[in-house]
Each structure stands twice: as C-alpha cells, then as structure tokens.
Amino acid sequence: MIRGYAGRVLDVDLAGRTFAFRPLDEETARLYLGGKGYGTRLLYDMTPAGIDPLGPANPLIFATGPLNGSVAPQSNRFAVVCKSPLTGGIGNAACGGSFAYGLKRAGVDVLVIRNQSASPVRLEIDGDRSQVAFIDASDLWGRGTGETQAVLGRKKHHAVIGPAGEHLVLFAGIVSDERIAARTGVGAVMGSKRLKAVTAGGSRKLEMDDPQAFKDYTKRLGAMFRRHPVLGDRLKRVGTSGIVSTTNPRNILPTRNFKYGHHPDALNVSGEYMADHALTGVKSSCIHCPVTCGRDVEIDGAGRVKGPEYETVALLGTNLDLPDLKRVSEWNHLADDLGMDTISLGAVIGFAMELREEGLFDAGVRFGDPSGVTDLVKDIAYRRGAGADLADGVRRMSEKYGGRRFAMHVKGLELSAYDPRGSYAQGVEYATSNRGGCHVQGASMYMESTGPLTIDPHSLRLKADLPVVMQNLACAINAMVLCIFTTYGMLPRFIHELSPHSRRHRALTAIVEHSGPLLRLVSGAKLAPLLWYEKWLTSITGERFTSGRLQEIGARIFNLERMYNLREGLTAADDTLPDRLLHEPTFPGMTSGHPLHLLLPRYYALRGWDRAGVPTSRTLKRLQVRV
C-alpha cells in the first residue's frame, strides 16, 4: 500500500446491518488521491444514472486523503460525496472538525454507507478491533448537533446531523465539532438513511515514507504561515468576516438578494467590528490548524458559541438588509445546531423576501426587518408552514412561485457571497462549478478581487484561464484533504506589503494580468515539487509529486465530476448565472451584467471540451478518466 493511506475502505450496509473492510484500490488512489476524488470515482462506478438522491441507492461516502492524520497545517478535513438532492448532480462537501482524524486513526480511508435503516441508528467504528456497532439512536433523533455530540462524548470524533437532516431539508449538512460539511444537501442524504451519527476512533498512526523530511519541511512552513500577512495575522485577528472590508467597497458584497453589491452599514458585521464588540475569544475549531480563523461570540441563552464566518454575515446579514451582528450570530448558531448550510439558508430567505416585494409569495419576512426570521429558520429545519417550501431551496421555490430572474443559484446550489459582476473570473467559476454556485471549488476571487493583487476584475484578460487552474488545484486540495485557506500562502508576503498605488504593484499586476500562458506553463510543470502540497505528498507517500501532476489529478477529478453531471442530464445550458447577474449592471459604465458568453467558449477550449461543453474523448484519454 502507498504510504499515507490506511489501506482500508469500510463498507457499511444499513439495511442489513452488516459491514466489511475492503482494501483500498491503489490505482484509484494514485489517480484520484482520496477525499472527493476517490469518493467521486466510487460514486460514479457504484451507481447508475437517475437514482433518487434520497433513496436507498444513493451511497453516502466519507473520504479522507493521504495528508489526514498528519500534523500538516489545515489537514484535518474530510470529504463527503453522494448524489445531491439539491442539484440532482454531483454532491460533495468538505468539513473541518476532528472526524477525519478519528477515521484515519481507525484505519479507514473511505467509509461507504449504503441503503437505509428502518429506524434511527448511529455507528461506532472501532478501528483497532475492526468492528462496527449499529446502535439505536431513537434517543438522539430530534436533538441538535451540539447536544448530540455532547451526549456521544466530546473527546470522541463524530459526524452528526441535526433536525434539518432528519427532515430532509435539501441544504442540510453534516457537523463535526463546530464545523459543517454544509453544501449540496449531504445532511439530507444522511437523514434519508436515518443515520444520526458516526463515531470513529482507533490508535493507527500514519505511516510516512520520509517522516523526517515531512517534519522538517512542515516546521519551516509553519513558521512561514505564522509570518504570513493573511494566514498568520489577519485571519487570526479578524477571522474570515474581515473580508467584508474588501468586498463591500469593491461592490461585490451581496445586498438585498444580490440586487446591490454594497451596504452602507456593512462594517457592523465585519470581522473588525466583531473583534471590538462581540468577540469573547479566539480558538481553533480544527485540530492541527495554526490559522485559528474561528471566532467565539457570546449570545443570549447559549453563552459562548462559534461566531459567524464571512459567508454567513453576508448571506444572513447584508443580503437580508440586516447587518446586525448579534442577530446574525444567533441565526448562525441556530442553523449550526439544526444542521443547515447558512449560505443556502441566507440565500433562500433573501429570495423569499424579494418574492414578497414582488407580490409572488409571502413567507412572513421582509428585507430590513428581523421579525419572523428566527421562527422561519426553525420552520425550515422542521419543514413547517412556509418553511417547508424554503427547505427545498431557491431553484424549486422559483419553479413553484416565480421570480426566476432573481433566483440566485447555479445548477440549484445557492450562490456564495461574491457578486461576480465585480469579479469576472469568479463568475466563470460559479457557472462551471460541478456542484453549482460555490466559491471554494476554485476561489478565483482571491486572485482577482479579495487578495492583495489588484488585477482588473472587469477586464476579460485571464478570466477564463484563472478558473481552470484554480478549479484543478481546488479539486486536488479537496482530494488530499486540506483546507482551501492553504492557497492564501501562494502569494508571498512581499506582495501583501506593496502599496496598491506603487509602481512595483502596478507592474506586478500588469504582469499577472498578461500571464495566461505562463500560468498554465508553471502550474503544469512536472519538473520538481514546487509548493507545500507537492512536498508534503512526496514525503508522505514516497511518490514524486509536482504541480503538474497535481493539476492533472485535479483536472481528472473535475472532468469525472463533469461526466457524472452529464450522465445525470445536465448540459452546457446549466453552465450559466442567474439572470440578475447576467443582465442587471451594478457598476457605473456597465451596460449589462457578467459577460459570461464572452468567456465560456475559451474556458471550454482550455478544458479540452467541445462546444457543447462535453469533454472530448481525447481529453478523457489524456487524463485517464474512465467512463
């Protein structure tokens, strides 16, 4: 077995209450690494097209990667893969917390959950004895994610769902500690199996090819991360909510269901405001993470709890015209405990508010008014009243009540908090992302709009090239499985310390804007390990990794996801953005919205796809994607 892997896939059948440990397939691990890569390969091979995402035929796959179980910074994540009940296409989500660590200590690389239990059940995986206990979970059914984990024991490593998952809310997530695998409705799939929780543990240690090289490099890198302006300073001081201070003045902060990109009181939900007014402490919610981006805040009735992240303060704050940190913190805590994705939650409530303005549907909430929101969040989780409609997400709401023009989703997944009208590369990424409107399947906006570079977000240069490279890298990161924040380190400290008005900054920006071919050349090079990803993988697995090999693995995963979606009936017509973003300008001088039609043909060509957005047989052969 390749080093870095436990070498085992645990296959659990909930209907028959049986389990089996099977060997990990080495060839698949070489081609797809692990995490969502290995998981997608399994899902594609295990299932035919057209299965019911909430039926027994949809497997729920938890997957770790070769870096999990090491002390590599931000290597505490696991991936969940299944068919998405929200989008009908590929579903996946990644999560921090400690469950990945527990799985790897149990000697399990991949956990496959098949079929459905007749009654609420939870699993306890004892890796040392290679046993799985099926335990009645009737006493836990209905409890929140916090209470469930408290009952199961804080010192163990769990993945649990809350009431939202139990009630099949299509954007329910799976929670580990205080983190959530939030997107695409993976929690609803777990709920459909009546699986309340999985607990994993053992004493297996990660075997590395060259532990000394790994240790030495990680030590040096840790020091670099600690000195880094974003990883070591800004995220520690103000967390991810500090991003408000960049997106609001750049007109890309969702406001009133993405009608605007700027809110005059946005600073009230910024990380800086949180640090001054609400922060009760800082702690790293994820093990082996030196960044400590987590914020703790105090809220009435619950005490000290995890504070909201950027996406949450935007979607549940300015997007609802409610930049009120206290209320956003309460709704964030409530959503976490109920087990829901706060991005989709904020988006669907914002959509409901605009439906009311347009006289199409009244869920009892309106922009700028907090009354009714708390009850609506609960009603969504329990599918009560209007909440039952909102629990199906924005796309289904728009199909039922109208308002498709301002239904802010891509492929059925609600958009995250970067308005692509001020971030063109991010728009291409949203439109082409296999899981839908998501920002962590590439994160081009960091290179384009929220990072230290100031390339012109309204120019077409680089806007088709950048998403390809970033999406491939993100696929590889989600296969290792690492936190996407590790990419922040790619832009070195000196760039962050240049004045945006200096000649050097402008020269650097001009070079980057014209670097499309160079970007592909450097990222595709197979000469030697370049970044930490390749160096870690090389020292752990003993195999030679380069940025080119990582790009190839990422492209392989991305194309397999694409083939999965095509098999499910998605087409190039689904590679689009909401009408509002395509046709309504938000910047002076804009005559329309995002120029996706000018960028998509080049993106397809760079991907090796035909004009219909289908990967050519040559592309699939080159990438060794078997379909």
Partner 1 sequence: MSVTVELTYEMSKALGARRFEVEGAATVGDVVRATRERFGERAADFERLTRLAAVAVNGVLVTHRRGLRTAVADGDRVMFVQASAGG
Packing angle, helices 596-607 and 424-432, rounded to 10: 60
Residue from 366, 404, 405, 506 in contact with partner 1 (CB under 8 A): 506
Q: Which stretch binds partner 1 (CB under 8 A): 139-147, 384-392, 501-509, 517-525?
A: 501-509
Q: How many residues bind partner 1 (CB under 8 A)?
A: 52
User: Binding of partner 1 at residue 256 (CB under 8 A)?
Assistant: no
User: Binding of partner 1 at residue 445 (CB under 8 A)?
Assistant: yes
Least distance (Å) from partner 1 to the CB of residue 243?
A: 4
CB neighbours of residue 513 within 10 Å: 16
CA distances from 242 to 26, 76, 156, 272, 311 (A): 42, 23, 32, 6, 11
User: Binding of partner 1 at residue 449 (CB under 8 A)?
Assistant: yes
Written in H, E and C, the secondary structure of 100-167 is HHHHHHCCCCEEEEECCCCCCEEEEEECCCCEEEEEECCCCCCCCHHHHHHHHCCCCEEEECCHHHHC
User: Binding of partner 1 at residue 307 (CB under 8 A)?
Assistant: no
Least distance (Å) from partner 1 to the CB of residue 521?
A: 25
User: Binding of partner 1 at residue 512 (CB under 8 A)?
Assistant: no
User: Binding of partner 1 at residue 92 (CB under 8 A)?
Assistant: no
Residue from 21, 134, 367, 587 in contact with partner 1 (CB under 8 A): 587
Residue from 45, 139, 358, 497 in contact with partner 1 (CB under 8 A): 497
- Closest CA relative to residue 497, chosen from 218, 290, 233, 292: 233
User: Binding of partner 1 at residue 452 (CB under 8 A)?
Assistant: yes
Q: Which stretch binds partner 1 (CB under 8 A): 173-181, 356-364, 448-456, 558-566?
A: 448-456
456 vs 568 by CB, closer to partner 1: 456
Residues 175-234 that bind partner 1 (CB under 8 A): 229-230, 234
User: Binding of partner 1 at residue 287 (CB under 8 A)?
Assistant: no
Least distance (Å) from partner 1 to the CB of residue 457?
A: 8
Least distance (Å) from partner 1 to the CB of residue 222?
A: 19
User: Binding of partner 1 at residue 153 (CB under 8 A)?
Assistant: no
User: Binding of partner 1 at residue 492 (CB under 8 A)?
Assistant: no
Question: Residue 267, CB half-sphere, CA atoms under 13 Å: how many?
Answer: 5
Residue 287 token pair: 């093990």
132 vs 445 by CB, closer to partner 1: 445
Residue from 500, 569, 585, 601 in contact with partner 1 (CB under 8 A): 500
Q: Which contiguous run of DSSP H or E holds residue 303?
A: strand 303-306
Q: At residue 492, what are phi and psi to the nearest 5 degrees?
A: -65, 165
3-class SS at 369?
A: strand
Residue from 99, 141, 273, 430 in contact with partner 1 (CB under 8 A): 273
H-type alpha helices, 201-241: 211-227, 235-238
22 vs 277 by CB, closer to partner 1: 277
99 vs 430 by CB, closer to partner 1: 430
User: Binding of partner 1 at residue 235 (CB under 8 A)?
Assistant: yes
Distance between CA 290 and CA 74 in Å, rounded?
A: 8
CA distances from 432 to 66, 254, 525, 622 (A): 28, 20, 25, 21
- Before 132, cis peptide (omega within 30)? no
CA distances from 575 to 364, 551, 597, 610 (A): 33, 22, 10, 14
Residue from 156, 461, 505, 622 in contact with partner 1 (CB under 8 A): 505
CA dihedral over 7, 43, 390, 346, signed as positive or negative: positive
Residue 329 token pair: 């913190």
Residue 363 token pair: 């869920």
User: Binding of partner 1 at residue 122 (CB under 8 A)?
Assistant: no
Distance between CA 580 and CA 407 in Å, rounded?
A: 8
Least distance (Å) from partner 1 to the CB of residue 322?
A: 18
Least distance (Å) from partner 1 to the CB of residue 446?
A: 4
Cα-to-chain-centroid distance, residue 291: 18
Least distance (Å) from partner 1 to the CB of residue 450?
A: 4
Task: Give the binding site for partner 1 (CB under 8 A).
Answer: 229-230, 234-235, 240, 242-243, 245-252, 261-262, 264, 267, 270, 272-273, 276, 310, 418, 422, 439, 443, 445-446, 449-452, 454, 456, 458-459, 485, 488, 496-501, 505-506, 509, 586-588
